[in-house]
Amino acid sequence: LLVTVPSDSLRNQIAGKFFNLGLLKQFGVVGEKSLYPIVGIIKNKFESTEEVTEFLEKCNVVVSTMSWLTNQNNETQELFSKTFSHIFIDEAHHVKASSWNEFRNKFDKEKVIQFTATPFRNDGKRLDGKIISNFPLKKAQEQGYYKKIEFISIREYEKEKADQEIAKVAVERLRSDLADPNPHNHILMARCATKERAKEIFKLYKVHKDLN
């Protein structure tokens, strides 16, 4: 099994789950006496195709980032597509990026399983493939994975004033949560459309030095 992820932190996190099979033994999905898989984590470059082959032959599961995989030459990519019975693509909403898509297409379609919590992209492109499991937000809320969302409305139609008002109300709410008798260790997040916009908005929040 080849597992691809978009970042180094996820690479380590996902590999850790395979080391001990996560919750599978606890839930009886695999037997208590089942052996744990040999997990390989790829971070660095191999010196030769022979070295890659030797590494892959020793593993049941290999975890790496898509950026590492897409930076390999065609021969190495073809070796991966022939070696693995299946490929799991985590954060699969990125797969429409040309380099991701090109690598995925080296595998037979029935070998590819994609996972994502955000299947809707800003560019409108849809993920292809058949949906075999879907867990809607409504069910997640019903089962307590998400708490009730409180929407705070702000009416201000001048862009600059609106930004200031949103920041003011957001910081007030954060301070209120932190001052609670049972303080909530919250983080305030401002979501922006572009990096330039994020830099503009950051100026409104960085003045609160005690919240750094």
pLDDT of the chain, 212 residues: tens digit per residue: 999 998 888 899 999 999 999 999 999 999 989 999 999 999 998 999 999 999 999 999 999 999 999 999 999 999 999 999 999 999 888 777 788 888 898 998 889 999 988 777 676 677 778 888 988 888 988 998 887 788 999 998 888 899 999 999 999 999 998 888 888 888 899 999 899 999 999 999 999 998 88
Decide if 61 contacts 88 (C-beta within 8 A): no
Decide if 42 contacts 72 (C-beta within 8 A): no
The pLDDT, as a whole number, for residue 88 is: 95
Alpha helices in 37-128 (DSSP H): 49-57, 66-70, 74-83, 98-104
Task: Kindly state the tokens that stand for 177.
Answer: 């949560």
Interatomic CA distance for residues 71 and 151, integer angstroms: 43
The pLDDT, as a whole number, for residue 54 is: 95
The pLDDT, as a whole number, for residue 143 is: 92
Instruction: Report in angstroms the alpha-carbon separations of 195 from 3, 97, 190.
Output: 30, 19, 12
